[in-house]
Amino acid sequence: MEDVGVVGWAQTRYGRALVDETPQSLIYSAVTGALDSSGLSIGDIDAVIDAGSDFLDGRGISSCVTVDAMGAQFKEESKVAGDGLLAAIYAYMRIASGLFSSAVVVAYGKSSESSIRKQTRTMAEPFYLRSLGLDALSAGALQARSFMRQYGIGPDACAAVAVKNRLAGVKNPHAQLRKEVTLEQVERSPEIMSPIRKLEACPITDGACAVVMAEGGIARSISARTAWVTGIGHSADAYSPGVRDLHRAASAKRAALSAYKMAGVNDPLSELDLLEVSEFYTYQELMLYEALGLCGEGESADILKAGVTGPGGRTPVNPSGGVLCANPLVATGLVRLAEASAQVSGRAGDLQVEGARKALAHAGGGLAMQTAACIVVER
């Protein structure tokens, strides 16, 4: 199997409604930015894997329209229906197989152009859930209460995740929200779907992200500071929320175990230098501490409180500020890979975790974290 490295990445600016951008213009600037940062040009690239949402775009098979903006004309182009991190896993497999030597991965979304809550309702099948109006937020709220009840997690622990991540986001030049919030502000923000409060939910974000991946020979020839992909995993739980153990992020656990096994990670808490995870709501970051192996069952609030996952902690989680500071669906998880790659290659600027060598990027998908994808990158 070929070595595969992440050799370039770029994020566009993010905003609540970028009315001066189209999906194509966002894709174009992310792809050209990522290529520039890699030192490769589009002519060097074999494959383009993209992630977009036909529902958000309001058109079918949307990659037919965006193929030129991605630089994918007359290349092997393929689209995944899911987060951009899954697209990165597909690109990894193509290069690892030896059939391809390099790939551009791009994901984008303009959530502002439609109603995001109405769009997430289309994830619900028509008979049992959609007729009830269930969407990502209400499914998340049911999961939040299941989790909090199961382990006696208080609302203050969830609110503290927002405080931690919003503070981290202040230093992130890409973040959409760059203003810190206090515990009191979070706890006093309105309940948009109890137990979830306004400041505990991700913002609505327009934007795009791209990464460039290449096989070992190319990666070594263009840069001495590649983020090597050493582990991948993805997993899907049952669809129906009422069939699952809703208080556990079981698919994230499976995805992480696969990635850890491949990367030879036995104790993520001591071996990973940081994690970038997809927390669409505060409670999800706590659930992910358990699922991704940073703590035992029911211990997530304790490690947060002890500062283990905070800035300067043993294993910082979301030093970029995470999804609570910008949520460019469906690029959200790919952004985690861009941030993790920047960290382990020592190019994270103001966000740099000192001495970072190994990191995990996580993406979540579906209602109440039904699916997950994980990638381990290291220097």
Partner 1 sequence: MEIKQPKLVCLEGENKCPYRWSTGEMVGAFLTALRDHQKIMGGVCTGCGAVIVPPSSYCETCSSPVEEMREVGPRGVVMSWARVPEPFIDAPLPAPFRYVLVRLAGSDTSMVHVAPDDDNVRVGAILIPEFREERRGSITDIKWFVPEGSQGDG
Could you tell me whether strands 4-11 and 47-51 are parallel, antiparallel, or unpaired per DSSP bridges?
unpaired
Task: Pick from 16, 19, 264, 307 the residue near partner 1 by CB under 8 A.
Answer: 19
> CA nearest 248: which of 200, 280, 194, 287?
287
Task: Pick from 64, 81, 99, 132 the residue near partner 1 by CB under 8 A.
Answer: 132
Among the residue ranges 95-103, 135-143, 281-289, 357-365, the one whose residues contact partner 1 (CB under 8 A) = 135-143
Among the residue ranges 5-13, 65-73, 132-140, 225-233, the one whose residues contact partner 1 (CB under 8 A) = 132-140
Among the residue ranges 63-71, 189-197, 273-281, 307-315, the one whose residues contact partner 1 (CB under 8 A) = 189-197
What does the alpha-carbon distance between residue 123 and residue 115 come to, in Å, rounded to a whole number?
14
Among the residue ranges 86-94, 145-153, 171-179, 254-262, the one whose residues contact partner 1 (CB under 8 A) = 145-153
Binding flag, residue 154, partner 1 (CB under 8 A): no
> CA nearest 140: which of 189, 193, 190?
193
Helix (H/G/I), strand (E/B), else coil: 244 = coil
Nearer to partner 1, 249 or 361 (CB): 249
Task: Pick from 141, 162, 212, 257 the residue near partner 1 by CB under 8 A.
Answer: 141
CA 266 to chain centre: 23
DSSP string computed for 243-310: TS-TTS-HHHHHHHHHHHHHHT-S-HHHH-SEEE---SBHHHHHHHHHHTTSS-TT-HHHHHHTTTTS
What does the alpha-carbon distance between residue 130 and residue 136 come to, in Å, rounded to a whole number?
11
Binding flag, residue 183, partner 1 (CB under 8 A): no
CA 168 to chain centre: 16
Are 176 and 209 in contact, with CB atoms under 8 Å apart? no
Least distance in angstroms from the C-beta of 246 to partner 1:
7
> CA nearest 234: which of 208, 216, 252, 215?
252
Site string for partner 1, 57-86 (x = CB under 8 A): -x----------------------------
Integer angstrom CA distances of residue 133 from 19, 91, 201, 365:
29, 36, 19, 19
Binding flag, residue 149, partner 1 (CB under 8 A): yes
Binding flag, residue 138, partner 1 (CB under 8 A): yes
Binding flag, residue 129, partner 1 (CB under 8 A): yes
Binding flag, residue 195, partner 1 (CB under 8 A): yes
Nearer to partner 1, 186 or 334 (CB): 186
What secondary structure letter does DSSP report for 353? P
- Chain positions 246 to 265 lying near partner 1, rule: CB under 8 A, are 246
Binding flag, residue 106, partner 1 (CB under 8 A): no
What secondary structure letter does DSSP report for 148? H
Among the residue ranges 71-79, 117-125, 305-313, 345-353, the one whose residues contact partner 1 (CB under 8 A) = 117-125
Site residues, partner 1 (CB under 8 A): 19-20, 58, 117-118, 121, 126-129, 131-134, 138, 141-146, 149, 190-196, 238-243, 246
